[in-house]
Structure 1
Amino acid sequence: MTTPTKEPANAAMDRPGEGRLAHAPADHPPVRRARVGVVLANLGTPDATDYWSMRRYLSEFLSDKRVVDYPSWKWQPLLQLIILSRRPFKSGEAYRSIWNTEKDESPLLTITREQTRKVAEGLEGLFGDGVMVDFCMRYGNPSTDSVLKRMQAAGCEKILFFPLYPQYASPTTATANDHAFRTLMQLKWQPALRTVPAYFEHPRYIEALANTVREGYAAAETPPEVLVASYHGVPKRFLMEGDPYHCQCQKTTRLLREALGWEADAVQTAFQSQFGPEEWVGPQTVEHVAELARQGKKHIAVISPAFASDCVETLEEIEEEIREAFIEAGGETFTYIPCLNDRDDHIAALLAVIENELAGWVSRQA
C-alpha cells in the first residue's frame, strides 16, 4: 500500500517473489510469482490545499464526463475560465478546515490507508501472503493507473477492483471502473479484472451502520428525535435514465431502520452537495434539516451511509454547513454520526464482500 509522493511501498503487502522460467534463455526477463491483487478505490483527494493543487484536482474531477456530462464545447470554457478561477479558493478553505496537518494530507487519504492496512491483515489471515492489497484514488494520488500497473508488475495476474461506494452510481462506481479498464487498455499483458458490485444491502454493512447509530445515540447528551440519512446527490435526470443510485439509497435507509427496529418517520432520507441549474433528487439535506427544526424537531442526528470514509462532504459540509442551517432554523442539538471508516465491523463487512468476490481465485488457508 502506498502514497507515492509520501512513503514507500508497505513490505507487508508486497512480497512479489521473483524468478526465472524453467528452460528460459539467460536473457529472459524475470517473471513474478503469480498473485491475486485487491484494490480499494476511493473518490480522491487534492495533494494540498493551495490554489494550484485544488485547481488540478477540481479540473480532473469536474472534467469527468461521468460527473458532468454536458458537451465539452459548452462545459469546458465555463469550467476552465470561470469556475476554476474562483472555486479552488473556496474548496481550499473547506479542505484546510479538516486537513490532517500531522500527516499533511486529507482525512480521506488517512482513513483509506488505514482501511487498506486492516483489510490486508484480514486477507492475510484468510489466504496467506498470496493476495496483494493496495488502494487508489479516482482523482489525485495514488492514481488508479499507477496502482494497477504496479500490481501487474508485481505478478498480479488477477485483480479484484473494489470501488468503495455501497450504492452504485454512474458518477462514482462507474467512473472508477472506467478508469481501471482504461489502464488495462495500455498493458501488453492484462490481468484478469473483476469489479465488486454495490453492497448497499449487505447484512454486515447494514449492521455496521446500525451499530454506529446505536453508539451515537447512546453518547448524545440529548436523544435525537430524527435520524437523517444524508447521501450525496445526483441529478434527477440520472434516475430517469436508469441509474439505480436513488433506489439503492432508499433501500439502505429502510434496511437500516429495520435493523434498528424503529418507526418509519424516525429515519429519513435526504441528499446533499447539489450544484448546477438542473433538478436533483431530493429533498436537499441542508433544506430538510432546517425544515425539521421549523417543525419543532430540536434534536436530530445525521449519518452518511454512502461514504465509506469521512471526507470534505461529511467533515465540512455536514459538520459545518448543514449543522449551521439546522441551528439557525431553531434546532438545538445536532449529532453527526461518523462514517464507518476503519471500524472493525466495517472492515469485517468489507472482508465478507471481498471473500465472496474472490471465489474461485483463492482458497482459505487450512
Structure 2
Amino acid sequence: MATVVPPVTQDSTGSKGPTAMVFMNMGGPATTDEVGDFLSRLFADADLIPLGPLQSYLGPLISRRRTPKIKRQYADIGGGSPIRKWSEYQASEMCKLLDKTNPETAPHKPYVAFRYAKPLTEDMYLQLLEDGFGKGRGGRAVAFTQYPQYSCSTTGSSLNELWKLRQRLESPRRNQNLSAAEAEGSIKWSVIDRWPTHPGLVEAFAENITKTLETYPEDIRDSVVLLYSAHSLPMSVVNRGDPYPAEVAATVWAVQQRLGHRNAYRLCWQSQVGPSAWLGAQTSDTVKNFVKKGQKDLILIPIAFTSDHIETLFEIDQEVIHEADQLGAEGRTRRAESLNGSPTFIKALADLAGSHLRNDEVCSRQMGLRCPGCKSERCLEQKRFFMGQGVQANAAVTL
C-alpha cells in the first residue's frame, strides 16, 4: 500500500500552518553581470513598459543599448542592488513576529519572488513545491506585494506572472501530468495587493523624515520643503485608469497628516524611460527649479520604495542631489533614509500580514475592479483566479 503523505497544512506548530509568505517585488541585479538579463526581462514586460506591437523588437534593442550605462551605475553603488538582501531580511524578520502573533498559521516561511531578477517568480514557485506545498499536499501561500501602492505595471504584472506559473504548474487543464489528487491539493493563494495608508507604513516614513529634518538647524526646520518621489508611469497607463497615482498621493497625504503638516511638500516622479509621455513633474527637474529659485533646503523621500535600490542610491543620491549641489545647494538638499531594516516598518508588515491571516482574507475589494480602460484578458483571468480562492468568490469583477 502506498504511503499517504499528510497535507502540508497539518503541522505540529499551528492548526493551519505552515504558511508561505511570498514577498513580491521588481528586484534588481545582484551583480553587474546580471544587468543584461535584468533589463531584457524588464523591457520585455508590456505591463511595465508598454512599447506597442513592436515590443518584441524594441525591448531587446533598448535593453542592449542601456546595458553598458546601467552596468556603470550599479558599479557606482557597490556592484549590485541591495534589494534582495533587504527583501530577504524583511521577510524573515516579519515571519519571526508572525510566529508569535499568529501561532495558528505558524510556522510562517519567508520567500522572495522578483519579477526581473533572481530569485524569479518561477524559482520561488518551484521551491514552494519542493518544500512541501502543493502537489496534493495543499498548503496556504500569501502573495504579499512590496509595492505599497497598486499599479497594473508593478503588482499587476507580478500577479499575472504568478497566475501564469500556477496555471502551468498546478492546473490540470495546462499540466496533463498532474494526478487528480495533485490537482485537488494545489496551493491555496491569497493576496495582500495594496496597503498605501497602513498606519505602520505611515509611521515608518514619518520617523525617517523626522530624523532627516533634525539634521537641519532648528530655526529653519519648518521651512524645509519635502519632496516625495515615486517611480513614474507612462501616461498611456495613467489614462486607462491605473490607481497608482491616487494611491501614492494617499500615502503622501497620510504621512503629511502624521507629521502635522509643518512643512510644505510636493509629489514628484522619477525614472522616466523612453520618448513617450510619462507622469510628471520629474523629480530631477523639480529639484533643479527649486534650487535655482533659492529654495535649497529640500528633503527627497522615496515614498513608493520599501528598500534601497538603484533609484535611490544612484538616481537620487548620485544624480539628483549631485546636480543640486552643482547648482549651489551646498549640501542642504538631502534624502530621507529608505525603510530597509526599520523595526517600525517590519512591525507594520507583520501587523498587516497578521490581520490578513486572522481574517482569512483573499484580497482587497479593490483587487476585483479593473482599470476602466483595461482590455487585457490575462488581467481579467488573473483577478478571477485570485478572488475565487476564498470567500470573496462572488465579488464583482469589472468585465
State the shift of 1:201 in Å: 1.0
Identical aligned residues as a percent = 26
Q: Find 1:314's aligned residue among 312, 325, 349.
A: 312
Mapping 1:265-344, distance limit 5 Å = 266-332=264-330, 333-344=332-343
1:59 corresponds, among 36, 40, 45, to 40
Normalized per residue, which structure has more strand?
A: 1
Give the letter for the 2:97 counterpart: G
Matched, 1:138 2:115: yes
Q: Alpha-carbon deviation of 1:349?
A: 0.9
Structure-1 separation of matches of 2:325 and 2:90: 33
Structure 2 runs not aligned, ≥5 long: 10-17, 134-138, 171-182, 362-399
Distance (Å, rounded) in 2 between the aligned partners of 1:77 and 1:237? 20
1:286-345 C-alpha deviation (Å, 9 max, x unpaired)? 000001111210111111010011100001000011112222333221211121112000
Q: Is the 8 A contact 1:291 1:329 kept in 2?
A: no
| 1:49-96 deviations in Å (ceiling 9; x for gaps) | 03xx22111001110110122234x23323324x23321111111111
- Distance change (3 Å), C-alpha of 1:71 and 1:29: farther
Pairwise CA distance, 1:149: 2.8
Please tell me the residue identity of whatever aligns with 1:48.
T
CA distance in 1, matches of 2:63, 2:129: 36
- Superposed, 1:48-127 pairs within 5 Å as 48-50=31-33, 53-72=34-53, 74-81=54-61, 83-99=62-78, 105-127=80-102
User: Could you tell me whether the CA contact under 8 Å between 1:220 and 1:335 is conserved in 2?
Assistant: no
Whether contact under 8 Å (1:206, 1:256) holds in the other structure is: yes
Question: In the alignment, does 2:190 pair up with 1:194?
Answer: yes
**TM superposition score normalised by structure 1:** 0.84
Residues 217-246 of structure 1, C-alpha deviations (whole Å, 9 max, x = no match): 113467471110000000122221010111
Aligned residues: 328
SS in 1 for 2:358: coil
Matched, 1:37 2:35: no
- What is the TM-score normalised by the length of structure 2? 0.77
Q: CA deviation at 1:98?
A: 1.3
Structure 1: 5+ residue runs without aligned partners? 1-24
Per-residue CA deviation, residues 25-59 of structure 1 (Å, 9 max, x unaligned), is: 23x47445323211111211224203xx2211100
Aligned-partner residue type, residue 99 of structure 1:
G
SS of residue paired to 2:115: strand
Q: Which moved more, 1:60-69 or 1:329-338?
A: 329-338
> CA–CA distance in 2 between the matches of 1:236 and 1:251?
19
8 Å contact kept, 2:228–2:265: yes
Structure 1 contact 99–107 (Cα < 8 Å) conserved: no
What is the Cα deviation at residue 139 of structure 1?
1.2
SS in 2 for 1:33: coil
C-alpha separation between the residues in 1 aligned to 2:302 and 2:356?
Answer: 25
Amino acid at match of 2:280: G
1:155-174 aligned within 5 A = 155-156=132-133, 157-174=139-156
Give distance in 2, aligned partners of 1:284 and 1:247: 17
